[in-house]
Amino acid sequence: MTTRLFSLWICAVALAAATPHAQDRVTAFVNVHIVPMDRETVLRDHTVLVKGDRIVEIGPSATVKAPSAALTIDGAGKYLTPGLAEMHGHLTGGDVALNERILLLNVGRGITTIRGMLGHPSHLVLRERVRKGELLGPTIYTSGPSLNGNTVPDEATATRLVEEQKAADINTESRSRSTARGVSGTSRAIGSVRSRM
């Protein structure tokens, strides 16, 4: 039951954020217990006011009142923690329906940011849909497809693939020409290791 209620909170906030003028909307989590990240304690019976995607006020529920137009979520007896970040996540290749379920499962468990370790072009579309509020999911940081000895047979291929990923706006370190040279060097090294095997 607690998991379902927590998931409903996340859904309510995500749906509120997807509505027009989301940056002006205030969401109030009232009567919650907060687990802060700066000390080992629990702040009991507090209110958290969120405007758009920013926390604007936190304080005891007796003193911090939700604005009358706010979306109010009563979390009496429940705990509110910061969103979690999955720093080594994997979405599937091009299976959009499965990826949508994976994103929903992440959000349902409190994960608000994922970093995908093995990218696919369809992940860029999912990232944009989440950003626009069309799909409920965590913020997505994705890499490009794997560049290794099986996919990069030569320097020209390495350069082309890195430049294509840069043009597609992949969130990786492969945004620079020096990385393209590094991948090319790695490709050459892999090629010479293969030739010695």
Q: Where do the structural domains in the chain lie, given as residue ranges?
A: 2-80, 84-196
Is residue 114 within 8 Å of residue 139, measured between CB atoms?
yes
84-196: what fold? Translation Initiation Factor IF3 (3.30.110)
Amino acid occupying residue 123: H
Q: Which CATH class is domain 2-80?
A: mainly beta
Nearest to 33 by CA among 58, 12, 67: 58
Quote the strand ranges of the chain, DSSP E. 26-34, 43-51, 54-60, 71-74, 79-80, 84-89, 111-116, 139-142
Per-residue pLDDT of the chain (197 residues), as tens digits, is 454 445 445 544 554 445 545 678 999 999 999 988 899 999 999 999 999 889 999 999 999 999 999 999 999 999 998 889 999 999 998 899 999 999 999 999 999 999 999 889 899 999 999 999 999 999 999 988 888 888 899 989 988 988 888 887 755 433 334 444 444 444 444 443 333 33
Q: What is the reported pTM?
A: 0.67
